[in-house]
Structure 1
Amino acid sequence: MKSPLALAAALAALAIVTAACSSQQAEDAANAQVDKEMIIKASNYTFDSSEYRVKAGETVRFILESSSGNHGIHIKAIGLKLDPNKNSQIVTPKEKGSYPFECTILCGPGHKDMTATLIVE
């Protein structure tokens, strides 16, 4: 049987390596080359725009800012999913089209009206 001290040291080393990898991934994502930054502002029961426009093939850093309440969005067709725990994501929409979305977190009585559209031109 291994000593508890050796096991604790191994777990501590694993935690340090995991933290370093996570930190590096976050830094790489922050420094990634993007063509455009798209900020989607959410407050209770509304987005700041009914339409957001990007170009097909353009690498976009989407950022969800919530000034009040908890909000999220998900556009499965382009692989975009933002919420309070992950409020930034880099996506390159390839297909032109109109992608309606709604708040994905039940945010109160006006939640059903919280909709907008991403238009990829």
Structure 2
Amino acid sequence: MKKIMTMAAAAGMLLVFSACGAKPAATPEAAPAAASGSGQQVQLVATNYKFDKTEYKVKAGEEVTFSLQNKEGLHAVTINGLKVELSNQKKTATIKPDKPGSYDIICSQPCGPGHAMMTAKLIVE
């Protein structure tokens, strides 16, 4: 009897976990970037006190869609010199950077003790 109840509980838990898996939740995050059509796509994935990359590269004179995904913690992004600001209310922005150079990407939402170190670079080639 215990064996049957254990198997039933395990099957029930499997149903619960498969019904609320991570894949459906990730779809809305990816949709805005995909909906923008052609052009370069840069996804900034933010976790506590760091971005997923230290450097992102794009081509000058081409349209770029930036998107923000808060994977851990609550963050917002500013790209200094390019008028890009992303947050939970505005997760995507599309611009055409014309001037090659290096631009600072910073977390603009105070997120804890490592906030000041949460930076990356955008290289426009």
Q: TM-score, with normalisation over the residues of structure 2?
A: 0.69
1:46 matches 2:50: yes
Distance in 2 separating the partners of 1:62 and 1:31: 12
RMSD: 1.6
User: Are 1:66 and 2:66 matched, yes or no?
Assistant: no
The aligned counterpart of 1:111 is: 115
Unaligned runs of 5+ in 1: 1-28
Question: What does residue 35 of structure 1 align with?
Answer: 39
**TM-score normalised to the size of structure 1?**
0.71
Q: Which consecutive unaligned segments of at least 5 residues does structure 2 have?
A: 1-32
Identity fraction in percent: 42
Aligned to 2:93: 89
Query: Aligned to 2:81, what secondary structure does the other structure show?
Result: helix
Output the amino acid matched with 1:112: A
Alpha-carbon distance in 1 for matches of 2:44, 2:36? 19
**Separation in 1 of the partners of 2:74 and 2:96?**
25
Q: Work out which of the residue numbers 71, 74, 79 in structure 2 matches 1:75.
A: 79
The one-letter code sitting in structure 2 at the alignment partner of 1:64 is L
Q: Aligned residue pairs: how many?
A: 93
Query: Aligned partners of 1:65, 1:41: CA distance in 2, in Å?
Result: 5
